[in-house]
Amino acid sequence: MAKDKNPNSRTIADNRKARFAYEIVDTLEAGIVLTGTEVKSLREGQANIQESYASVEGGELWLINSYVPEYSAGNRFNHEPRRRRKLLVSKRELARLAQAVEREGMTMVPLRLYFNERGLAKLQLAVARGKKLHDKRETVKRRDWAREKARVLKERG
């Protein structure tokens, strides 16, 4: 499990498959625009960013297909669970992200959704390149070898 850089931040959702399926080139922190019931639902620790991705549309950055369940105590003002959520980044970062996606054929995948030390919801976003099947096999082979090596070293003392 990945350690948080800041002990005061609290992870809500983690996208562990992203590190296996993609080669992470760069990461950045983005704010996320949420409604009141979404924040309350996230504080309960319920969210899923496994199948989600980010996209630049109309000069803005959007998080698409993320799942934040409806707040249990919410009423008619509850939010839609799979709605598109706007991400907040600077214009310079937005231009850099758009260029990487267009020219270099990369994609933007969320790695972690968390509350920072000030209590604001943040999204760790990665600019990544998709791995080919043989790269994934190599990753599994390296991980298995490291596990086996650690086990043998532990046995020998």
Distance CA 123, CA 110 (A): 7
Start-to-end C-alpha separation, the chain: 25
23-41 per-position pLDDT tens digit:
888 888 999 988 888 888 8
- The percent of residues in the chain predicted with pLDDT above 90, rounded, is 6
What is the pLDDT of the chain when averaged over all its residues? 83
Tokens of 19: 């590190």
Helical (H) or strand (E) element with 31: strand 22-32
Which residue matches tokens 């390296």?
Answer: 142
120-150 per-position pLDDT tens digit:
889 998 888 877 777 778 888 888 899 998 9
Q: What is the residue extent of each domain of the chain?
A: 10-131
Q: Is the pLDDT of residue 2 over 50?
A: no
Report pLDDT for 1. Answer: 40
CATH architecture, domain 10-131: Beta Barrel (2.40)
What does DSSP assign to residue 6?
A: S
Q: Other CB atoms closer than 10 Å to residue 18's CB: what's the count?
A: 20
Report pLDDT for 62. Answer: 92
